[in-house]
A and B are shown apart, each in its own frame.
Chain A
Amino acid sequence: DQQVKQNSPSLSVQEGRISILNCDYTNSMFDYFLWYKKYPAEGPTFLISISSIKDKNEDGRFTVFLNKSAKHLSLHIVPSQPGDSAVYFCAARSDRGGSNYKLTFGKGTLLTVNP
């Protein structure tokens, strides 16, 4: 039972264009969402997060959008750079009921940005 789904295993974009990575979730108890980036032989690196009380959060080239009614979030990277090539994980947690210790991850999307 996968509660966080990243349905695209891979995505390829041209340098300078927009990258859009998608994530769906099924657990309505989730109220905080994070994106992590992972390079080979390294641990996941925190990128950006969003609380369920917002629908958008922006940090430089990275913007995360949350659509609670659709249980869908997306990460936009503009403009994409070759150094952005990595696996991107969507993660979620519930901050209610004292269970805010556990992150539930999707399987990841491999982003390749071509020069």
Chain B
Amino acid sequence: ETGVTQSPTHLIKTRGQQVTLRCSSQSGHNTVSWYQQALGQGPQFIFQYYREEENGRGNFPPRFSGLQFPNYSSELNVNALELDDSALYLCASSLMTGGGYTQYFGPGTRLTVL
């Protein structure tokens, strides 16, 4: 039990629609990262937010965007959904300090795009 929660658990959308996924970080954590895990693949880094600002981004187009709120909860928004966006979306929270840190994952949201 990591204390990281995500909603919804499952979601079905059609191509072209927009979707918002939500994440609640572990208490005390100030950083949230989002990953996309396609079937048979490892998680791929989308972006990270630290203190409400984007702190780094992977190779994902601008239609993937995010927000982090003052209470450190977070949203992932995907516009103009494509079939290839079907995947498990994972958020991970961590406490960013000067040294190393570990990311703790939530259970994920399974998105299906038809």
Contacts and interface: CB of A to CB of B under 8 A. Distances in A.
Interface of A: 4, 32, 34, 36, 41-46, 49, 51, 89, 91, 95, 99-108
A101 B105 contact: no
Nearest to A102: B45
Nearest to A2: B42
Contact of A43 (B50, B55, B56, B106): B106
A89 B103 CA distance: 13
Contacts of B42: 4, 89, 91, 105-108
A105 B44 contact: yes
Interface residues of B, number: 28
A101 B33 contact: yes
B114 to A, nearest CB: 21
Interface string B28-62: 00010101000011111100101000011010000
22 contacts: A36-B105, A42-B107, A43-B2, A43-B105, A45-B2, A46-B103, A46-B105, A49-B100, A49-B102, A89-B43, A100-B101, A101-B33, A101-B48, A101-B50, A101-B55, A102-B45, A103-B33, A103-B43, A104-B45, A105-B43, A105-B44, A107-B40
B102 A44 contact: no
Nearest to A107: B42
A41 B107 contact: yes
Interface in B83-114: 90, 92, 100-108
Contact of B107 (A43, A51, A95, A99): A43
